């Protein structure tokens, strides 16, 4: 048999097999492909990301409780600090608020890594952080940069002790920026939508009862 014919036939079979598999691959990733091509999220997609947002906010709250607690082992607090940073968009900042003796509120912004490091080393012998069971998530809107934006509102209670004495306590309403962005998935070599936490603002601080 002609060797050239054999090689050509083998190549044709390989080519046909490749094309035969392509529709399956396309069908499996059709949703991702549609999202990437249109750069839009459907209403059902938004609902899924709302649930993911709630989960990420609750995860962050748990990390904050762990980092702030001086009763937790240093290793666990350090791990919580690293995991918390993974939830945030690069460059995110945290506003902290402090009630002053005259009743005014002092607000300062720090990058998230500096905020978490400071939280871990606050000059109290004991710190107790609680979050009320309330997470309000606003509607997502598409920005001119193609990302989707929303906000989540949470209520945080902070208590600081020196020895057995309560020395500071407040309740703060915080607004967390939520960002949905297309990011490169290196494992699958494609872009996918992901939810990130962004800047956190202290919108209202009151004396706790």
Query: Using the 8-state DSSP alphabet, how is residue 138 labeled?
Result: P
Q: What is the pLDDT of residue 30?
A: 56
Helix (H) or strand (E) holding 94: strand 93-99
Give, in degrees to the nearest 5, the angle at Cα 84 between 190 and 51.
Answer: 60
Mean pLDDT of 156-160: 97
Q: Please, which pLDDT band fits residue 196 given cuts at 50, 70 and 90?
A: very high
Q: Please, which pLDDT band fits residue 89 given cuts at 50, 70 and 90?
A: very high
Kindly report the average pLDDT of the chain as a whole number. Answer: 84
Q: What is the pLDDT of residue 93?
A: 98
Integer CA distances (angstroms), 77 to 72, 166, 182, in order: 7, 23, 31
Least confident of 15-24, 88-97, 121-130, 184-193: 15-24
Mean pLDDT of 98-108: 95
> Tens digit of pLDDT for each residue in 34-57?
444 456 888 888 999 999 999 999
Q: What is the pLDDT of residue 110?
A: 97
Q: Please give the Cα distance from 130 to 118 (Å, whole number).
A: 18
Q: Check whether 18 has a pLDDT greater than 80.
A: no
């Amino acid at each position: 048999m002609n060797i050239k014919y054999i090689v050509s036939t083998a190549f044709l079979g390989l080519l046909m097999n490749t094309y035969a598999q392509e529709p399956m691959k396309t069908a499996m990733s059709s949703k991702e492909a549609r999202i990437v091509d249109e750069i839009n999220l459907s209403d059902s997609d938004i609902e899924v990301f709302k649930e993911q947002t709630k989960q990420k906010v609750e995860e962050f709250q748990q990390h904050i409780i762990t980092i702030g607690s001086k009763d937790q082992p240093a290793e666990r607090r350090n791990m919580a600090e690293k995991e918390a940073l993974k939830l945030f968009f690069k460059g995110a900042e945290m506003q902290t608020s402090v009630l002053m003796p005259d009743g005014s509120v002092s607000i300062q912004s720090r990058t998230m890594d500096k905020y978490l490091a400071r939280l871990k080393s606050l000059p109290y012998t004991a710190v107790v952080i609680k979050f009320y069971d309330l997470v309000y998530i606003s509607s997502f809107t598409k920005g001119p940069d193609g990302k989707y934006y929303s906000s989540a509102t949470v209520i945080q209670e902070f208590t600081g002790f020196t020895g057995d004495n309560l020395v500071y306590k407040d309740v703060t309403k915080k607004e967390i920026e939520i960002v949905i962005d297309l990011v490169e998935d290196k494992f699958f070599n494609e872009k996918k939508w992901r939810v990130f936490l962004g800047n956190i603002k202290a919108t209202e601080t009151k004396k706790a009862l």
